[in-house]
Structure 1
Amino acid sequence: MLTAAIDVWNLATFDEELLALLRTYGTALLHYQVTSRNNYEEQQAAHGWVPLKDNPFAADRMFILEQIMMPAMEQRTIRAWHYTRLTDGEVDRFRVNGIQTSDLKGIQRRLDEQVAAGALDSATAGAIFCESPFHAQASSRSGKFWMVSHPYLVTDGGVELLLQHWGGEGVYFWLTKPFHIESVQRIGRPRIIEVAVPLSVTSSVYMAANAVVATYVASLGGKPNGSAFDLYATSSLGADAVLAVHSEGDPTFADMALGYPVGFVER
């Protein structure tokens, strides 16, 4: 059973133990951020290039992040967002079977299903399969399920291609023939999947710690840099990890990052 998921960008979702840690070290974290911003603005205002001043709070902040916040975040689950294009049947499978990581066999299975459904002919499916970047990049792409830590507008350049093309990067990324591209654009509908992902199955504990620190510092009046990050799960997740599926046509899909989810503020 997954523990309750927190939003790294929303202080209201942080549990009391996490908040207690942040309160304990909040002054040092705020001092670092204010000093860092002041040093940057002073550098930018200088006539000609000058080196960025050292931040005397840097060592304290690094200790807090690595020795305090990372161990705390490794025990936690966060809500993340997966932008994709799926058929109704694939959405149903997510809800029943949960989330599987990507591999070449999975791409072949998905293409075979579209042939059986009449969405692709076998020759087209075979040609698309041969163009998959997984053939050349299996070691770096396999065994992962990619997400983002913050919701994005559906028109954002970072996610729009994922929403426009069925199959994810493993299918569309290296396609060059217009017919093949148009074929995968006709399958399914754009979807956004909310995922409860334990940070213990990711390599992004540091980034998550940095994000919750940024959120807390902002609540103290600081102005930290943006803390959104990409992350991936390295193992399958059960059906309880699928918190919601937003499909094109749903009000929440259109409102993503513009009022949904409640409490989201882009920094």
Structure 2
Amino acid sequence: MTSTLIDVWDIKTFDEVIIAELDANSEVLCNYEHTSKKDYREQEAAKRWVPLKENPYAAKRQRILEDIIMPLMEQRTIRAWHYTRLTDDEVQRLKSDGIHTSDLAAIRRRLDAQVATGLIQANVANALHAASPFHHQEEARSGKFWMTSHPFPVDHHAIELLVAHWGGEGVYFWLENGELVDLLKGIGRPRVIEVAVPLQLTPSAYLAAKAVIAAFVTAHSCEPDRPAFDLFTTSALSADAVLRVHTEGEPDFSALGSGYPA
């Protein structure tokens, strides 16, 4: 696996092998985007509904995506972002112990740690644990650590609840008790974890390949669909995978998605 850290939105971070393959197939990739946009505009301008034309470059573009770029991305590490709310102690444990996937046992440990510090009472911890969606969605939620491929501004609607409530969706998602919701809003501080993620630990190499192609054709004056995607690792990550932890009040925290990264 190459040690190069890739930002899927920034071709300056792509290694020589990926760039060479993209360059070799640039005509097909760009022609696909130009044709797609032209056909879409024509469909929108039509006085009555007409089916979208078949893109003659679609099959070749899909082969490049699946057979060339995706296998390369499977062997690479990308930078991703996890939006959350953590206490200072949790940040220190993250930096020393690394990242672990979520399950009911992990939620119980986090709640018990807050009881030990006196931030919440034992009966409150029990109520929060009992309300966790993991009890009913354990198969879908457990064994994963979720991230985004692109940095979002911290006030973006897609992540505002994650940074506003301690414990993540596994704790706050189904809460209806206003007092408990307010309690979670008072624990910890908003954070964004910047993570180095080997794509071989995720099922997202295909989406990463699409994002890489989108960045490439954008640099060639094309307009692809927004390539950002959610991803998760199914394995724990060591402490060196934690690149930075951005905290509310820091300049880079408020600049995420607009001024940081550049």
Instruction: Provide the TM-score with structure 1 as the length reference.
Output: 0.97
C-alpha deviation, 1:2, in angstroms:
7.9
Q: Does residue 200 of structure 1 match 2:189?
A: no
Write the distance in 1 (CA, Å) between the matches of 2:134 and 2:200. Answer: 25
Whole-angstrom CA distance in 1 between matches of 2:204 and 2:42? 32
Structure 1 gap ranges (5+): 263-267
Corresponding residue for 2:74?
74
Deviation at 1:198, TM superposition (A): 0.5
Residue 8 of structure 2 corresponds to residue 20 of structure 1: no
Q: Does 1:159 align with 2:156?
A: no
Could you tell me how far 1:211 is from its partner in structure 2?
0.3
- Are residue 93 (structure 1) and residue 100 (structure 2) matched? no
Any unmatched runs of 5+ in structure 2? none
- 3-state SS, counterpart of residue 146 of structure 2: strand
Are residues 1:222 and 2:214 paired? no
Establish whether residue 142 from structure 1 lines up as the match of residue 142 from structure 2. Answer: yes
Query: In the alignment, does 2:155 pair up with 1:173?
Result: no
SS of alignment partner, residue 228 of structure 2 = coil
Task: State the secondary structure of the residue aligned to 2:182.
Answer: helix
- Paired amino acid for 2:119: A
Pair 146,251 (structure 1): closer, same or farther in 2 beyond 3 Å: same
Q: How many residues align?
A: 262
- Superposition RMSD on alpha carbons, in Å? 0.9
- How far apart, CA to CA, are the structure 2 residues paired with 1:27 and 1:95? 44
Shift >3 Å, 4+ stretches: none
SS in 2 for 1:192: strand
CA contact (8 A) 1:2 1:240 kept: no
* Residue 40 (structure 1) aligned with residue 35 (structure 2): no
Q: 1:10 to 1:18 in 2, by over 3 A?
A: same
Distance in structure 2 (CA, Å) of the matches to 1:18 and 1:73: 9
Aligned position for 2:239: 239
TM-score, scaled relative to structure 2: 0.99
Contact residue 2 and residue 75 of structure 2 kept, 8 A: no
1:156 is paired with a residue of what secondary structure? Answer: coil
Q: Which residue of 1 aligns with 2:213?
A: 213
SS of 1:190's partner is: strand
| Contact 2:246/2:253 (8 A) holds in 1 | yes
Q: Counterparts of 1:119 and 1:261 in 2: how far apart (Å)? A: 34
1:257 CA drift (Å): 1.1
Could you tell me which residue of structure 1 aligns to residue 183 of structure 2?
183
| % same residue | 55
- Matched position secondary structure for 2:25: helix
- 2:113 and 2:42 map into 1 onto residues whose CA distance is 59
Residue deviations 1:62-92 (CA, integer Å, cap 9, x gap)? 1000100110000000000000000001001
